[in-house]
Structure 1
Amino acid sequence: MILILSARNDASVEMVVPELVERGAEFLWWDPGGYPADSTISSRLTGGSWRHTLRVEGREYDCSQFTTIWNRHPTHPHAPESVTDDNHRKYVEKIAAILLHGWEHTVESRWLPARTSDIVRTQNKLVNLGVAAALGFTTPDTLVTNDDEDLIPFWEDAGGELIAKVVEYVEFRIDGEDHSHYTTPVTRRRLTDRHRLALAPAILQPYVKKAVELRITVVGDQVFPAEIHSQGSRATRYDYRHYEQTFSTYAIHRLPDDVERRCLELTASLGLHYGCIDMIVTPEGEYVYLEINPAGQWGWIEATTGLPIAAAIADWLIAAEPHR
């Protein structure tokens, strides 16, 4: 049986579910965000190993029966509505998160892409950039710092063509509005605000000119590369995500064999069975690695290019099912 851990409104899961149904797979779609509000977990150490029982929506599941777990996009644990005190809610949800962390690490199963702690570790850009460089990918010269005195010489070394990125995407709100940080050019005028760097570290890299950008989705031993034609508009020149569905066009890309091999080596070296790799192809045809997102989105790539990513995920999930 397959266990899918994700929010109930996850469009990517909705794309894979019909593939699983077509293949006759048995699966449970459960969001751990419903724990402990409307689900329970009982764990008993017996015979030298843990036995976990999940009860959700009136049904009971022996977790040892889950051959594969798709750790897609689960939400954070939520306390029952009856817990109204804020401090009490924080306590209940913190304890629930600790239990789920232990539950993940004591459920023996195949995980796609990996357990949550491994996802957090591998999506850290310092980690995956270092591994990519060691595997032979071309990577930009990179400075990660919160020391503004390091900024100016690095900016000068880049000839004033420098971009800044966040170390990790973190949700935040200003005056009640959601905000996101995108890749931003560090202009001479922005240098006057460099003291703000002390508040949080940033990733700094020389700007890499782009012919096209690539979104390379790896599922098991399959590689699905897509081109993102982001340079046709100033709005998407530095970061296509800002207006990705408005100005960019997409196409299937043919990777050189050595680049495809490194993509597979990278996910394997990081202990992942899935990942979305972002790369740049320069006007000279050089492939430059940027990052890997071990839980990255792929639905929009399949919708725009027809690459059969949902089918590949379904095939990976059912590979260990007994009838296979």
Structure 2
Amino acid sequence: MLKKQAKQVIGHRIISEPEKINNLLIAKSIGIDIPDTLVTTNKADLLEFFKENNGAITKPIKESRRISDGESAATMYVANIDQTALEEIPDSFMVSLFQERLDIAFDIRVFYLDGQFYPIAIFTPKGSERVDVRDTSSKDRAFRETKYKLSEALENQLRQFMDELDLVSGSLDLIHTKDGRTVFLEVNPWGQYGNVSRSGNYFINQKIAQYLVYGSERT
């Protein structure tokens, strides 16, 4: 029988939102593959980056927030930068985050808890132009989700990454590309896990309850 331990929490008592750039640098230092990334306020830099990567995407440099005027609401997601969009961008702009556009085979969402990984693969319908699976504004919602297995080497790297951030839980977003890369995108310390639990048949609610009551099983 498990012995009841001191009070436990998940999430982080200090981190209110993830530091995306810092987290990417930490992941890279551990050996985790990350996208080619640019932070700039200058169109000339973006043009060079776009040329080198044959395209680009942009995403919020901070955690996305839902914006409302009382009558309608909007949320910022990942957006593709094509040639038309590039031409409309001014010579200078507010500090922005750009990344290479990866040729996606499928997305990977992982819920992490106390050293254990609960991953699923998310397959986007063929022909879809959506670049962010969280974007529910499109009619294109026929995603297929299934249980997935991370490599042992990647698990070890991601566990080291989460330990470095002092996170006992969180949702990790990765992409598996058509040329075989598994690329880390970001971690959300407060990430949802409902679809991961359902699609992977993981019973994550039960595992969280066990952790909160009995504490860590890591030695």
Q: Which band: TM-score by shorter chain?
A: 0.7 to 0.9
Pairing 1:240–2:133 present: yes
**SS of residue paired to 1:250:** strand
Gaps of 5+ in 2: none
Of 107, 110, 113, 2:11 maps to 113
Contact 1:113 1:295 in 2 (8 A): yes
Task: For structure 1, list consecutive stretches of 5 or more residues without a partner in the other structure.
Answer: 1-22, 26-65, 69-109
Q: Deviations over 1:3-43 (max 9, x none)?
A: xxxxxxxxxxxxxxxxxxxx9x9xxxxxxxxxxxxxxxxxx
Instruction: State the alpha-carbon separation in 2 of the partners of residues 149 and 175 from structure 1.
Output: 38
TM superposition shift of 1:230: 1.7
Q: Secondary structure at the match of 1:126?
A: helix
Letter in 2 for 1:195: P
Alignment of 1:25-44 (within 5 A): none
SS in structure 2 opposite 1:302? helix
**Which residue does the alignment assign to 2:108?**
214
Deviations 1:30-74 (A, max 9, x none): xxxxxxxxxxxxxxxxxxxxxxxxxxxxxxxxxxxx943xxxxxx
Identity %: 23
Change (3 A) 1:170 1:298: same
Amino acid in the other structure paired with 1:239: D
The TM-score, its normalising length taken from structure 1, stands at: 0.60
Q: Which amino acid aligns with 2:133?
A: Y
| Contact 2:110/2:171, CA 8 A, preserved across alignment | yes
Relative contact order: is structure 1 or structure 2 higher (C-alpha 8 Å, sep ≥ 6)?
A: 2
Match of residue 165, structure 1, among 42, 59, 71: 59
- Which is richer in helix? 1
Q: For the structure 1 residues 119 and 111, does the alpha-carbon distance in structure 2 shift closer, same or farther, using more than 3 Å as the test?
A: farther
Query: Match for 1:240: what amino acid?
Result: V
Name the TM-score, length of structure 2 as normaliser: 0.87
* Partner Cα distance (1:124, 1:197) in 2: 24
- How much is the aligned-residue C-alpha RMSD, in angstroms? 2.4
- Identify if the C-alpha distance between structure 1 residues 112 and 175 changes in structure 2 by more than 3 Å, giving closer, same or farther: closer
Residue matched to 1:257: 152
Query: Which residue, out of 75, 79, 85, partners 1:180?
Result: 75
**Which residue, 297, 300, 313 being the options, matches 2:192?**
297
Count of residue correspondences = 211
1:81 alignment counterpart: none
Q: Is the 8 A contact 1:235 1:242 kept in 2?
A: no
Distance 2:156 2:38 in 1: 27
Match of 2:165 in 1: 270
Runs of 4+ that moved beyond 4 A: none
Cα contact 1:139–1:289 (8 A) shared by 2? yes
Q: For residues 249 and 142 of structure 1, what CA distance do their matches in structure 2 show? A: 28
Highest CA radius of gyration, 1 or 2? 1
Q: 2:47 aligns with which of 152, 169, 187?
A: 152
1:126 and 1:156 map into 2 onto residues whose CA distance is 22
In 1, Cα distance between the equivalents of 2:68 and 2:100? 29
Contact kept in structure 2, 1:162 and 1:207, CA below 8 Å: yes
Residue 308 of structure 1: aligned partner: 203
SS at match of 1:191: helix
